Chains A and B, each alone.
Chain A
Amino acid sequence: MGNNNNNQQTAAVLSVQDSLVRCAGNWTVTDIHALEQQIPSVQWPEQAMLTFDMQAVLRIDTSGAWLLARTVRDLEAQGKQVSLHGLSSGAQALLDLVREAGGVSRRAKYAKPRPFLFALGQSSLLTLVRWGDMVAFIGEMGEAAMRLVRQPKRIRWAAVLHELAQAGHKALPIIGLLSFLLGIVIGYQSGVQLRNYGANIFVVDLVGLSMLRELAPLITAIIVAGRTGSAYTAEIGTMQVTEEIDAMRSLGIAPMEMLVLPKLIALLIALPLLTVYADIVGVFGGMVMANVQLDLTFGTFLERFDDAVSLDSYLVGVGKAPVFAAIVATVGCYQGFQVSGSAESVGRRTTLSVVQSILAVIIVDAAFSVVFSYLDI
């Protein structure tokens, strides 16, 4: 270190001569690491009486004093008598202080590992409890929503509009870009296959149906989960850490009404709209690709689109969006309320929120497919 006062770069040292132990150097936190490694291998003399000469020690701090105290303690435990010489009064006081502090009782450092069955039972129970919490949260949310339906005046429209702008309007560029690229990819892959059979025109069916029924709703929900769901968790979680949620409760403001429902309402509106937007841009991407690769003009594409894609397909896709919106908003807010204590917890819950909502969205989408195939839609 670039200290310019009297502490030279002198490491702490210790040398043994018969029953005399000479100590020298800086016994300070930055200069004792070599000494610490040396001490266990020191050949202590046979004599029962040892004298530590501390005269040549330049500086000593609590760390050095502790190292000295520990060494002396270990020697005394071996039945030797140790006397210290040449300590300044300040150093002596420091030594007494750390001896006293080191004498504080310390119990087992880490809790014993639990037996396997105990741990298994505990984690299963905790998982159940967590599911219970989630169900309770959904119930609470439903109850608050019912209250709002009966008293629509209590809906906080300003908050809803703000959330709508955040979750909807500001997501337009990213969702547009991704669905356009997705349309291009689907158009290209279908085109390569279809060209072999001279069935170029069917690229419209493939792009149109896959985009409208599956890909547009799914990609939109996934982006919104990563963009907005995580923001919900982080926002509510940070408010939890700073006790803002508690403050809200104590002021008689229900966090459900103030925070959760505006987000839910905003997403219920935003996600279907975003899905329609993704439909349009995605199909346009496919159209561009078909034009470039298969020489299919926009006019021909749109004509075929009318025949190939029924209204049902469009409604099926857009109909899924509110369900996805409810999942993302619920998981995001629920995880936010689960935050406890620290900044690390906010990070962990945000990760969980994104993972869980994407997982849930895909599972529910698969369930939709199964149901639709039964119903023959």
Chain B
Amino acid sequence: MENNANSNDEIVIQTRGLSVSYGERQVLNNIDLDVRRGETLAVVGGSGSGKTTLLRHLIVLARANVGSVRVLGQDVSTLDEQALLALRRRIGVLFQNGALFGGMTVLENVGAPLREHTKLSDSLIDELALVKLALVGLDADDGLLYPSQLSGGMRKRAALARAIALDPELLFLDEPTSGLDPLGADDLDELVLSLKAALEPTIIMVTHDMDSLWRVTDRVILIGEGRVLGQGPMAELARSEVPEVQRFFQGPRGRAAQRQSVG
């Protein structure tokens, strides 16, 4: 199905015939998906199109009843709990509302995966957590705050710092710019780009934000009614002749974002 020129690129995520239904309702229908190492892929689609369900399967929080999902070369349906934990360690996730632990300070939140999964000393963990905070543009004083004391933008940044705590190979971002003001959203796009340049993870993001799609992604997959309606770089999708794809990208917002990014 994928016909890319450099076919020897390593595939880090592969789904074949992935189908999910909740009772009568078919949420995902026969999804084939390949993600190459180092690319930035966006999954887009209207509300209720199955994006979030797809994401939950890719981050191995849910397992498929039909079809196969391979993450970092391992078939997730064959893994036991131990292997799953090891696999999840190589995956970082930024949840939509941050999902920071409310009972810990920001610094403790960022340090939590390090404390769980490594034998490093507490002082080094604190230093590393501070470095990660600095990478996402927060300072040491912010680290002493509790999540409930943060603004929306800061919460996203703190959650991103926690997601990259273990230098994951796969970084999932669930609606990274939702709930942010336009400036904050621009800043977050910048941040994702700079992290991408520095840490070189493979990024899979779910987003509605047309500006992010133009600025950050290498490739976009449009999902609707549980099927892949179209995929390719943004510039290609925007020119697509397929009616469903056109409808999604040629709305007023889509056009405005395109004008801005093209010039």
A345 near B102: Cβ-Cβ < 8 Å: yes
| Interface flag for A151 (CB, 8 Å) | no
Residue of A32, A98, A107 most packed against chain B (CB within 10 A)? A98
Within 8 A of B (CB), among A39-62: 61-62
Nearest to B125 among chain A residues (CB) is A63
B119 near A29: Cβ-Cβ < 8 Å: no
Nearest to B86 among chain A residues (CB) is A1
Given A101-B135, A345-B102, answer yes or no on A61-B124 (Cβ-Cβ < 8 Å): no
A62 near B102: Cβ-Cβ < 8 Å: no
Instruction: Name the distance in Å between B263's Cβ and chain A's nearest Cβ.
Output: 29
| Interface flag for B132 (CB, 8 Å) | yes
Within 8 A of B (CB), among A1-44: 1-5, 28-30, 32-33, 36-37
Within 8 A of B (CB), among A326-353: 340-345
Residue of B141, B166, B167 most packed against chain A (CB within 10 A)? B167
Within 8 A of A (CB), among B86-103: 86, 89-90, 102-103
Instruction: Name the distance in Å between A353's Cβ and chain B's nearest Cβ.
Output: 19
| Interface flag for B185 (CB, 8 Å) | no
CB-CB under 8 A from A94, the residues of chain B are: 198-199
B130 near A106: Cβ-Cβ < 8 Å: yes
B140 near A106: Cβ-Cβ < 8 Å: yes
CB-CB under 8 A from A61, the residues of chain B are: 167, 199
A36 near B148: Cβ-Cβ < 8 Å: no
B86 near A344: Cβ-Cβ < 8 Å: no
Alpha-carbon distance between A98 and B129 when the two chains are bound, in angstroms? 11
| Interface flag for B182 (CB, 8 Å) | no
Given A1-B86, A2-B86, A98-B131, answer yes or no on A62-B140 (Cβ-Cβ < 8 Å): no
Alpha-carbon distance between A28 and B169 when the two chains are bound, in angstroms? 12
Instruction: Name the distance in Å between A39's Cβ and chain B's nearest Cβ.
Output: 10
| Interface flag for A302 (CB, 8 Å) | no
Nearest to A33 among chain B residues (CB) is B119
Instruction: Name the distance in Å between A336's Cβ and chain B's nearest Cβ.
Output: 17
| Interface flag for B121 (CB, 8 Å) | yes
Given A63-B167, A341-B102, answer yes or no on A70-B127 (Cβ-Cβ < 8 Å): yes
Nearest to B124 among chain A residues (CB) is A36
Task: Determine which of B73, B118, B167 lies in contact with A5 in the assembled complex, contact meaning CB atoms within 8 Å.
Answer: B73
Alpha-carbon distance between A28 and B117 when the two chains are bound, in angstroms? 12
A342 near B198: Cβ-Cβ < 8 Å: no
| Interface flag for B146 (CB, 8 Å) | yes
Alpha-carbon distance between A314 and B200 when the two chains are bound, in angstroms? 77
Alpha-carbon distance between A333 and B130 when the two chains are bound, in angstroms? 40
A33 near B127: Cβ-Cβ < 8 Å: no
A344 near B167: Cβ-Cβ < 8 Å: no
Instruction: Name the distance in Å between B85's Cβ and chain A's nearest Cβ.
Output: 10
CB-CB under 8 A from A104, the residues of chain B are: 130, 134, 139-140
Binary flags per residue of A96-115, CB closer than 8 Å to B gives 1, else 0? 01101110111101100000
Alpha-carbon distance between A5 and B102 when the two chains are bound, in angstroms? 37
Alpha-carbon distance between A4 and B83 when the two chains are bound, in angstroms? 12
Nearest to A30 among chain B residues (CB) is B118
| Interface flag for B256 (CB, 8 Å) | no
Task: Determine which of A66, A100, A340, A342 lies in contact with B147 in the assembled complex, contact meaning CB atoms within 8 Å.
Answer: A342
| Interface flag for A138 (CB, 8 Å) | no
Alpha-carbon distance between A328 and B131 when the two chains are bound, in angstroms? 49
B139 near A67: Cβ-Cβ < 8 Å: no
Alpha-carbon distance between A340 and B103 when the two chains are bound, in angstroms? 12
Task: Determine which of B72, B74, B102 lies in contact with A344 in the assembled complex, contact meaning CB atoms within 8 Å.
Answer: B102
Instruction: Name the distance in Å between B171's Cβ and chain A's nearest Cβ.
Output: 13
| Interface flag for A93 (CB, 8 Å) | yes
Residue of A94, A101, A102 most packed against chain B (CB within 10 A)? A101
| Interface flag for B180 (CB, 8 Å) | no
Given A33-B119, A63-B128, A70-B127, answer yes or no on A342-B148 (Cβ-Cβ < 8 Å): yes
CB-CB under 8 A from A97, the residues of chain B are: 135, 198
CB-CB under 8 A from A100, the residues of chain B are: 134
CB-CB under 8 A from A101, the residues of chain B are: 130-132, 134-135
Given A66-B128, A101-B134, answer yes or no on A93-B73 (Cβ-Cβ < 8 Å): no
A341 near B121: Cβ-Cβ < 8 Å: no
Alpha-carbon distance between A105 and B147 when the two chains are bound, in angstroms? 21
Instruction: Name the distance in Å between B132's Cβ and chain A's nearest Cβ.
Output: 7
Chain B residues with a Cβ under 8 A of chain A: 72-74, 83, 86, 89-90, 102-103, 114, 117-121, 124, 126-128, 130-132, 134-135, 139-141, 144, 146-148, 164, 166-167, 197-200
| A-B pairs with lowest CB-CB distance, top 8 | A342-B102, A341-B148, A101-B134, A106-B140, A344-B103, A61-B167, A33-B119, A104-B134
Interface CB pairs A-B, < 8 A, 30 = A1-B89, A2-B83, A2-B86, A4-B74, A5-B73, A29-B166, A30-B117, A32-B120, A33-B120, A36-B124, A61-B199, A62-B132, A63-B128, A66-B127, A98-B131, A101-B130, A101-B135, A102-B130, A102-B134, A105-B139, A106-B139, A106-B140, A109-B126, A109-B140, A341-B102, A341-B146, A341-B147, A341-B148, A342-B146, A343-B102
Chain A residues with a Cβ under 8 A of chain B: 1-5, 28-30, 32-33, 36-37, 61-63, 66-67, 70, 90, 93-94, 97-98, 100-102, 104-107, 109-110, 340-345
